[in-house]
Structure 1
Amino acid sequence: MEHSRPVGPPYDTDVEAVCWDWNGTLLDDAAVALTAMNVVLHERALPVLPDVDAYRHVFGFPVQAFYARLGIGDADFRPAAQRYLELFATEVARAPLHDGAGATLSAVGRLGVAQVLISATVPPVLERQMAPHGIARHFDQVLGITDAYAPSKTDVVARWLRSSGHTPERVLMVGDTNHDEEIAEELGVEFVRFARGHQEPPDHDRHPVVRHLRDVVQHVRARAVRSPAEHRPA
């Protein structure tokens, strides 16, 4: 999906584009994921996760390794993953956006910065998940993966970055997982970690961590200055 970006005020900013993650970053769906996964575990007589915090401490990529940590072996991975995806799909519509998501997207857009959403979800499913929230207009592009069972976004982000013409150092990526962080580091883009998503942030200080999406705007503004046109005498 491609959308036109509204023209914002004439800012000259070091940030050319913000690359947003979807699940867990803009969409507050960790509780939905926990419920679906616990059904999968219960059906296999495996211990369930007691709460979202427990889920966030064990979640991670690659997804197959995450399942293994829960006791689901390689032979059962695809059936378990398919069951999870079915359960998740029936409930994800009740997941809200994180507080301030819409206002944050609007604020970044007003700075004249391009925005793209890149998700570890296949495009038709991603479009259905986004539809109730009315935020697609904020993004120049909305991109997803091709394989729901191996949801790595690395290639998707890399292709977008190459085709966009943006300088990696002037792209800000916002995500909630170690995988998002690894992608940013591999591609040389700036990264901001959202702390209230699917995975507990690691114990290092290589990248800023925010608990509120509105704080992302400050990271963009910190590298933005008014254009000379705004300082001309009337």
Structure 2
Amino acid sequence: MQRLSSSSFTRTPVTRQALTCRHILWDWNGTLLDDVWLCVEIINELLHKQHLPAVTRDQYRNLFDFPVRDYYQKLGFDFEQTPFEQIGTEFMDHYRRRWRECSLHSQAEEQLQRFFDAGMTQVILSAAQVSLLDECTRFYRIEKYFGAVLGLDHHYADGKVEIARNYMQDIEIDPQHIVFIGDTSHDALVAQEIGVNCILYVNGHHPAEKLTPWQWPIIHSLQELQQLISIHPYP
């Protein structure tokens, strides 16, 4: 399959018209998993340790971005004093101990079940470590819904554009029949880079103000997917 880039297609304008879809790419953190509150708590612990000011949930959602190295710098971390790798590892140590305190977003499993029952292919596409993603899907008992779980081989969350590009090379699906459901501007960028449709969920790691400029449909509840995605499974 030919590699797609942002110059190889025209972005679908914002519309509430249902998208014809056979294949769904799901972001994990903030889209299916409601973990923003936990990330705020952990980052504030790390900021306190470095004698840096804490952030509110709103501040966090406005500052958070990929690669997370840049986001840490915005928070005030000095990598000459404490290397980025040390901060990233410490964050993930806290996260790995506590992620089970999180719940799936409301309607997450219902929508997964709906698409699964319709025979549609569903894949997780995340900047998280694959081993953690596998552990999470087993813990929440949702692993049956996914044909693949795509992530990184490390925990530094530097983005997922290359993962997505490589995946698109391996499948034989019209990009216009694929929808990526995410919660950040990075997810919108990924969708643009691989030429697929996108739906953005505002109850995750980015607020509506950071998502609106991408001109993709925005939802406030995962239940809205029922109106935005027209099920079109393979014969």
Q: Shorter-chain TM-score: what band?
A: 0.7 to 0.9
Deviation, 1:150, is: 4.3
Relative to its length, the structure with more strand (as a share) is 2
Q: Report if the CA contact (8 A) 1:181-1:193 is conserved.
A: yes
Residue of structure 2 aligned with 1:118, choices 114, 125, 129: 125
Residue of structure 2 aligned with 1:53, choices 34, 49, 58: 58
Greater Rg by CA: 1
Q: Which residue of 1 aligns with 2:104?
A: 97
Q: Report if the CA contact (8 A) 1:123-1:143 is conserved.
A: yes
Deviation, 1:147, is: 2.9
The within-5 A match list for 1:167-186 is: 167-186=174-193
Alignment pair present for 1:27 and 2:48: no
Residue of structure 2 aligned with 1:18, choices 24, 27, 51: 24
Query: Matches of 1:161 and 1:216 in 2, distance apart?
Result: 23
Query: Matches of 1:130 and 1:116 in 2, distance apart?
Result: 12
Residue of structure 1 aligned with 2:75, choices 70, 73, 94: 70
Q: Which letter does structure 2 place at the counterpart of 1:159?
A: N
- List alignment gaps of at least 5 residues for structure 1: 1-12, 228-234
Q: Normalising to structure 1: TM-score of the pair? A: 0.85
SS at match of 2:51: coil
Q: Which letter does structure 1 place at the counterpart of 2:103?
A: P
Q: Which residue of 1 aligns with 2:90?
A: 83
SS at match of 2:24: strand
Percent of residue pairs identical: 28
Query: Matches of 1:179 and 1:205 in 2, distance apart?
Result: 10
Q: Which 10-residue stretch deviates more, 83-92 or 108-117?
A: 108-117
How many residues end up aligned between the 2 structures? 212
Give a deviation string over 1:82-135, Cα, whole Å, max 9, x none.
111111111111100000100001111223221111111111111222222111
Q: Report if the CA contact (8 A) 1:121-1:144 is conserved.
A: yes
Q: Which residue of 2 aligns with 1:208?
A: 217
Q: Report if the CA contact (8 A) 1:36-1:84 is conserved.
A: yes
Give a deviation string over 1:123-160, Cα, whole Å, max 9, x none.
11112222221111011111111232243111111111
SS at match of 1:116: strand
Residue of structure 1 aligned with 2:156, choices 140, 145, 149: 149
Query: Matches of 1:147 and 1:127 in 2, distance apart?
Result: 14
Deviation, 1:205, is: 5.9
Query: Matches of 1:78 and 1:97 in 2, distance apart?
Result: 28
SS at match of 2:128: coil
Alignment RMSD: 1.8
Q: Which residue of 1 aligns with 2:135?
A: 128
Q: Report if the CA contact (8 A) 2:24-2:120 is conserved.
A: yes
Q: Which letter does structure 1 place at the counterpart of 2:78?
A: G
